[in-house]
Amino acid sequence: MKSGAGDKGLFSEMLRLVAESGFRLTLPAAVAVFVFQGLLIGGQETRPPVIKHEPVKAAARGQSVSIRAVVHDPDDAVVSVTLYYAVSKDAAPFKAPMQSLGAGAYVGVIPAGVIADAERFSYYIEAIDQAGLVSETPWYVVKVQSASADRQTAVSGDNGKSSWKKAALVAGVVGAGVAGAVAISQSGGGGSGSGNNPEAGTYSGTATTYVEIPGQPLDYDTNPITIIIDSNGIVSSDNLLEGEHLEGLLIGNDFLLTAQTKGTNYTGEIRYNGTVAGGRITGAIQGTLTTDNSAAGSYSGTFHAVRE
């Protein structure tokens, strides 16, 4: 049926709305009823990511701190979750990408060395979605006490946007695994405190790394390594990658250590995927690199270690 002005009856029409931001539709009372279905097409989403996070409850001097959160976006995909932390308001905060564990869970690590001499530190979490919309938590302030301290308290900062500038050194590496992601998701995220990890200890062994660059002979190196797992499940090594201190988080029996690399004519990223069980660590080395003339290369190899 074709409708005309003043006609009464039931009509079915299609209405397509395109908006650059929000829109409002006002109709005279008792004249018409519209049922809208579907999605906005061509418009911009207006809802940023949602961050669920339980502030850190403990920070012991000499131990790394893991920061966990659950992030989801009602309209779009989350493209990055970043941890910012600092020990002084007079300095720009450090920046560490948080590792996705799946199920919307993310984890980041504040290295022990950063807070070793600090009385307190501050941190916040930032999430960005595919549309470029940003969400931030408040700053949280955490007191750093000796390892024997019974209790530390996290205090929420103001609820406004983070005011410190973010032009800072990209620092920190994180460990991750799929196991444990569901538990983090259900709890809303949180931070690590004291623990009693059964895999804790010092592990010694070797790593063999292959570097393949197009047009060059295959390069490889075998070197002794030491990997330490502390009681909170923090995994660290000072010699897995020469000249770099790597830290990550043990999730279940798995960990991932990552680092940015730079050679005489290339830059890249190397990843150490490890599994610990029965006092032994086994792992695979993977990664990619790009030469100064844009040729693509790769890292590969294995590492093994036994608890001392």
Alpha-carbon distance of 267 to 15, in angstroms, equals: 52
Q: For the chain, which domains are there? A: 50-175 (2.60.40.10), 201-307 (2.40.128)
Alpha-carbon distance of 82 to 77, in angstroms, equals: 15
Give the per-residue pLDDT at 194.
45
- The pair phi, psi for residue 46, each rounded to 5°, is -125, 0
Give the per-residue pLDDT at 45.
61
Give the per-residue pLDDT at 40.
46
List all residues 6 or more positions away from 264 whose beta carbon is below 8 Å from its beta carbon: none
Give the per-residue pLDDT at 44.
57
- Could you tell me if 175 and 106 are in contact, meaning their C-beta atoms sit under 8 angstroms apart? no
Give the per-residue pLDDT at 140.
94
pTM for this predicted structure:
0.46
- Which residues in the chain land under pLDDT 50? 1-3, 5, 8, 10, 12, 14-23, 27, 29-42, 149-188, 192-194
H/E stretch holding 183 reads helix 181-187
pLDDT of 101-138, one tens digit each? 777 888 888 887 788 888 899 999 999 999 999 999 99
Question: What are the structure tokens assigned to 283, written together?
Answer: 């792992």
Give the per-residue pLDDT at 116.
82
